[in-house]
């Protein structure tokens, strides 16, 4: 039996009850649902940032068998509203600040010297995704990663992100609301319906 990278067994958080879900390496599972239905909270539970019932495991190793920061190094959440704590962008990237920023993200070579306060919400979001990827996680939890981007930038960033996910064989839960995007990227698509996660599209 091939072990899925990420497994949720009977996970309950907020209104969501007994969610069972497996995500394999290189697989993108999209989750959609009405505003306030609990999408972000589910991701936070998987990232060990919100208390929950049930079991979450990475390669069979239980979330509660390790400290939260150790878990989150491998199970990386990029929230809709990313956190920045230094004044300049580059300080958040450490040694990775010297790497070339992917062209698809639409920045010039000097972005690492920018102040965080000047970043638009879309710029913050793109840089937060890059920062997350550079930490080499196994799992990526994306909360509407292209929500603040225009159509052209959405397609560019989405294309780059999907190719990174495939190359790095990441297991991904991607919260999305745009059906055309979901059709392009999702291996499976679930929608939160009341207290459960309903499979809309994809292979079991
Ligand atoms: N720590 C918490 N304790 C109690 N209730 C919470 C907590 N965090 C979020 N909620 C509530 O749980 C519900 C789901 O919130 P969540 O942020 O997951 O929604 P969402 O589906 O991501 O919505 P949106 O699409 O608007 O971002 C909301 O009613 C919210 O107020």
ipTM for the complex? Answer: 0.92
Give CA–CA dist 176/179, Å, rounded. Answer: 8
For tokens 């009850």, the residue is: 17
Domain of residue 47: give its range.
6-202
- Count up the domains in the chain and report the number: 1
Count CB atoms within 10 A of the CB of residue 163.
Answer: 12
Flag whether 1 is in a domain: no
As a whole number of Å, the CA-based R_g of the chain is: 17
Flag whether 135 is in a domain: yes
pLDDT in the model for residue 3: 66
List CB contacts of 167: < 8 A, sequence separation 6 or more. Answer: none
Q: Is the CB of 125 under 6 A from ligand 1?
A: no
pLDDT in tens, 139-195: 999 999 999 889 999 999 999 999 999 999 999 999 999 999 999 999 999 999 999
Q: Is the CB of 145 under 6 A from ligand 1?
A: no
Q: Whose CA is nearest to atom 26 of ligand 1?
A: 35
Consecutive H or E run containing 72? helix 68-74
Give the CATH number for residue 103.
3.40.50.300
């Amino acid at each position: 039996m091939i072990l899925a990278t990420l497994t949720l067994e009977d996970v309950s958080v907020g209104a969501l009850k007994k969610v069972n879900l497996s995500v394999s390496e290189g697989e993108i599972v999209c989750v959609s649902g009405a505003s306030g239905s609990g999408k972000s909270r589910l991701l936070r539970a998987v990232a060990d940032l919100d208390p929950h019932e049930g079991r979450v495991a990475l390669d069979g190793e239980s979330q509660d068998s390790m400290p939260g920061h150790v878990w989150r190094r491998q199970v990386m959440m990029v929230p809709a509203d990313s956190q920045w704590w230094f004044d300049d962008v580059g300080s958040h990237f450490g040694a990775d600040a010297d790497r070339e920023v992917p062209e698809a993200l639409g920045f010039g070579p000097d972005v690492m010297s920018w102040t965080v306060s000047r970043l638009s919400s879309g710029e913050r979001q793109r840089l937060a995704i890059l920062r997350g990827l550079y930490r080499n996680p196994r799992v990526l939890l994306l909360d509407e990663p292209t929500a603040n981007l225009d159509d052209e930038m959405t397609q560019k960033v989405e294309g780059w992100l999907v190719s990174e996910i495939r190359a790095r064989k990441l297991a991904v839960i991607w919260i999305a609301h745009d059906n055309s995007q979901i059709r392009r990227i999702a291996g499976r698509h679930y929608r939160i319906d009341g207290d459960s996660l309903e499979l809309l599209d994809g292979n079991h």
